[in-house]
Chain A
Amino acid sequence: MTHRDDHDHDNHLDPMDARVRALETTLCEKGLIDPAAIDVIVDTYQNRIGPQNGARVVAKAWHDPAFADWLKRDATAAIASLGFTGRQGEHMKAVFNRPQTHNLVVCTLCSCYPWSVLGLPPVWYKSPPYRSRAVIDPRGVLSEFGVSLNEDVRIRVWDSTAELRYLVVPMRPAGTEDYSEEALAALVTRDSMIGTGLVDIGT
């Protein structure tokens, strides 16, 4: 069962727990880090910076054509106007799904990911199966996420090989014409902003 295997693979609890604890202790004793800063960093990514940020960007783009146009032209500035800036989002580009073009984001070389709008990447995004196959077999990868595109849909894979960070703007589902921006944001999943998911009513 692959899920369990992967789970075990990422949980070498005892040796890594001791190793990181020793490293943190040593750096504290030498005055090189402040453990209270670590607490704030962890809290930030648990509670303040995550895919809820990106969902707000997408919902606003769906709701406000002028914002969508700005997002297309200068994603860094448009996203900053909502208060989302900084680490691993310094240089943003938004890529818009179309009926005939689906966008998928990967970093084959490491784990580059738009932290300012999506937070920390999931394990699968950083792991060899996704990084190796997204560029050669994206339809196969998508099928493992339960996503099946029509055969005539073009797939564009964006390999994040430099410091540009990509946010996929998924297509707005039909039947949401009367939704508020807030209700739209609640539909937008993390995976839909990477390209490994689609947005549906009721997902």
Chain B
Amino acid sequence: MNGPHDLGGHMGFGPVAPQANEPLFHAHWEERALGVTLCSGALGLWTIDESRHARESLHPADYYSSSYYEIWIKALEALLARHGCVSPAELIAGQAKSAGSGDRPILKPQNVAAVLAKGAPCDRPDQGPARYGVGQRVRIRNVHPAGHTRIPGYAKGHVGVIEEIAGTFVFPDDNAHGKGENPQWLYRVVLEGRALWGDEADPLLTVSIDAWEGYLEPA
């Protein structure tokens, strides 16, 4: 979706302003927000792609006025409600109105290290030959799906060169919406800064994106 999250090349957000000796968390609630988000994800009810889509689906005004952990929590509430874990009434009341079903194993403290160390690899066996080869020129398709996609808007319609075939990976555009993993070849495509941003752009700038095969067409 052409949502508020798709920020590459946008203007007006001001300087980056890195904070010297920034603390890992800026408030206690951020620690709990991280943990609640990871523990809820460990229930296995949604994929990382669905959670990303929940975040980018916030109203743009809400997205831009929220810190990142706020975005996480607002999206998490939506995911929990969508999957029947909490009701809107419970979210408002801040307490359970009914017992959980108890039919899912939950993340226990003694399992955290192993779960984090394992992660969730999303490479998959190759489904067939790759359509494109290293060095080939390809165009990033000019498509505007209403659902989740990982094509950055600034790259759409532009031509780049395939630098590496990265392997076969779960296709987020489908996986975010419960349509299956449908893995596809993933390519690293390098685009010249001037192709993206015009003749005034830095001639020594190149930008790469990682693009699934369905995002590309021959150039």
Interface residues of A (CB under 8 A from B): 2-3, 6-7, 9-13, 16-27, 29-42, 44-46, 49-50, 85-91, 106, 108-111, 116, 119-120, 122-124, 126-136, 138-139, 141, 144-145, 152-164, 191, 196
Contact = CB atoms under 8 A, between A and B. Distances in A.
Given A124-B19, A134-B8, 6 more contacts: A18-B94, A25-B94, A35-B35, A87-B116, A145-B16, A163-B170
B32 A24 contact: yes
A128 B202 contact: no
Given A13-B29, A17-B27, A40-B109, A32 B100 contact: yes
B206 A156 contact: yes
Contacts of B64: 128
A134 B193 CA distance: 12
B19 A7 contact: yes
Q: Closest 6 interchain pairs by CB? A: A22-B94, A38-B35, A30-B100, A108-B8, A162-B210, A29-B96
A86 B121 CA distance: 8
Interface string B11-37: 101111111001011111101111110
Interface string B189-216: 0100000110001101111111110000
Contacts of A90: 119-123
Given A19-B73, A26-B91, A86 B5 contact: no
Contact of B116 (A3, A17, A49, A111): A49
A37 B107 contact: yes
A38 to B, nearest CB: 3
Q: Which of B27, B40, B154, B166 has the most CB of A within 10 A?
A: B27
B35 A39 contact: yes
A130 B16 contact: yes
B210 A132 contact: no
B119 A133 contact: no
Interface residues of B, number: 97
Contacts of B94: 18, 21-23, 25-26
A145 to B, nearest CB: 6
B76 interface: yes
Given A7-B19, A90-B120, A34 B109 contact: yes
A42 B9 contact: no
A129 B19 CA distance: 13
B72 to A, nearest CB: 9
Contacts of A122: 18-19, 22
Given A27-B40, A129-B16, A46 B24 contact: yes
Contacts of B36: 20, 23-24, 27, 33, 38
Contacts of A88: 119
A5 to B, nearest CB: 8
Nearest to A17: B29
A34 to B, nearest CB: 6
Contacts of A17: 27-29
